[in-house]
A and B are shown apart, each in its own frame.
Chain A
C-alpha cells in the first residue's frame, strides 16, 4: 500500500457525518461503513490486493482505532485477504446452484491445473502459486445461479462452465501470463 492510499483512506474516515454527531460512538465511525470501506480501498490499492500488517497498522494509526479492532474486522470478512494474491484470480462459485451442477469438480480441476499441492474439502480454499501469478479462490455465491456453474477469471464471469471449457480457459490464461 502506498502513502497516497493511506491518506485517502484516512481522509475518508475523517469526513464528518452530515446528520448526527457522535451519538455515543467514535466520530470516525459515524460515517456508515467507514472502516470497511477504508480497508476495501486499501486492499484495492495494493498491487497484490491484500492487507499487510503495515497497512493495518497504518489504518489503525490514522483512524485512532485500536489495531485489535481493525484486525478483527479484517479477519471477519471473507473479502479481505491477509496474504498476497496472484496477478490472475480465478474464483470458483460455490453457491448452491453451482454446487448441484458440479462446481466442486471445477475447483479441483482449477487447483490441480495450477499446481495446488493438496486440496482439502473442509478448509476454506484459497491458493496462490509461488510465482504470484495465480490465485484460486471460492465465493459463497455470485448470484449468477441461473447459468450455473460459473467461474470468474479476473473479474469476468464465465457461465455454464464444464471441465473442458475450464481447461481451455486456464490454458489460455497460463500462456498469456507466462509469456
Chain B
C-alpha cells in the first residue's frame, strides 16, 4: 500500500472531545516542532461548547514557511469515537490513522488505502496510573509520545516543554514523562518507526514567536497606553481583553501605591462597553473595547455618535461566522461592511486589517494614535483564525523613541493664551480635524457641549441647512486626511508584471501568498497587493486600474470587501473577480489557486 512521505511537510489533525485536556497536549506537540526550528501553523477547530463535543486541532508542518491551512490530512490522531467515521474519511490516501485501540475498532470503520496505527492509549494509562482524572489527561500525553517516535520528534525538546508547562506543579512532571514514554515505547515495540513522514531539525524559525493574535492585540493596547478597557464577553474576542488585563496586572502596577494604572470593567452589554470607551476617550484617557459580530451590531449607535461628535474610539473586532449568532467558533471576514459604515446616517469609519500577531500588536497601538489624531472611531478587523490560534510571527517590538500621538488637544496653557473664541468643531488647520479640549482643563475657556445632534462650529445646536451641510462635508475632508496617515498597502512587486492581479487582506494573506507560488508553477503570474487599511489609498486605485482582472480574496459570502472597493473607488465591478471562502474554516491556498486557475481558463476560453 502507498505510504505518504514528506520531510517537514505534512498536516496532523487531532480529533478530541472538548474539555478533556487535549488542548495542552496538542499545543506541546506543535511547540516541539517549532522549537526544532521548523515552521508550524496550528489551528483550533472547536465547538461552541464547554465539554463533550468534538474538537479538532490541526498542525501544518512546513519547511517552506507556508502558514495557511492546507487541504488534506496526512496523519489523523483520533481519540474521539463521536467523530471517528468522519475523521477516517478525512485522511489522505496513503495517510495514517493513529487511534486508541484499547477497544477494537468496529469493522465498518475500516477503510482501504490508509494505514491504521492502533495504540492502546487508555489501556496503557489504566495499567500505569490510578487517579481517574489523571488517566484521562495522560492519555493525551500517550499519543504525543507515539507521535514523537513516529515522526522522529526530539524527545528532549518535548520533555523540556513539559517541565516548563508544569513549573510550580513539579509533581505532574514525572507522570507526564511516563505517559510520553509509554506512547513512544509502544510504537517502538509494535511499528516500524519513524514513518516516511517525519521532522528533522532545521534553522528556519529564527527569532520568531508562536503567539495568538488576541494576546498580541492586548499587549498592543497595553503599550499604546490604554488605561480603560470596557467589554462584554463574546467569542472570539474574550481572550483579548483578558490578555490585556493579565499583563496589566503585572506591568501596570504603580510602584509606590501598589494600585492599578488601568481599569478593566466587564459591562452589562456591548452598548455599555462602547459607551464607556466614548466617555473615557472624551475625558482624555486612552480606552478601548473588543468584540465580535453581534457586538458590532449593538455598538452601531454609539459609533455613529463617535463619528459625528468626533470622539476618538478604539474597537477591535475579532470576527466570527455570521449572520446573527452565526458560528461563534468559526472564522470569517464578514463584518467588513457593517464596520465600515456602522450606524445610521452618512457614516464611515477607519478600519485596519492585521494579518499576523506582530501586526495585531502594531495596528492596535496605531489605532490609538489614529483615533486621537483623527478624532473618530478606528476599528481593527481581526478574526477568530488570527485571534485564537497560535501563529508564527515576527517578535513584538516597541520603539523606545515612539511618542504617542495624542492629536489636537488644547492644554490649559494653550487655552490661556487663546485670544479668539474656542470652536470645538472649527477647522483651523484646513485638514478637517478640529481641536478638542478635555473636561476640567481650564476654569473659563474650552468648555463645550458634546452632542449627537447637528451642531455648529461652537458645538451649539443648529438646524441651519448651510451650517449642517458644512459640518458633514468637513467630515469628508477629514476622511481625505485619513487616507494620508493610515497604513499603506503592501506591494509584492516593484513594478507590475502581469495584467492579472490578486488583492487580499488580513488572514487571507498567508494562503494567498502560497497560492501565488502554486499558480506560478502553473505558469500564471499574478501581481499582488495586501490592503492594510480603509479608507483606501490612491495606490489601491492604481493597482486596480492597472490590471485587467483582479482576484479579490476574502472570507464571506457576499464579497463585502469587493463591494467596498467598487463603492469607494468607483471601479467597474467586472474587473474584480470574487474568490470567496465562507464555510467557517480558514481559507486554504489550494482553494485559492484552484479557483483562480478555473477563472483564468474560463477567461482564456472566451
A and B: real partners? no
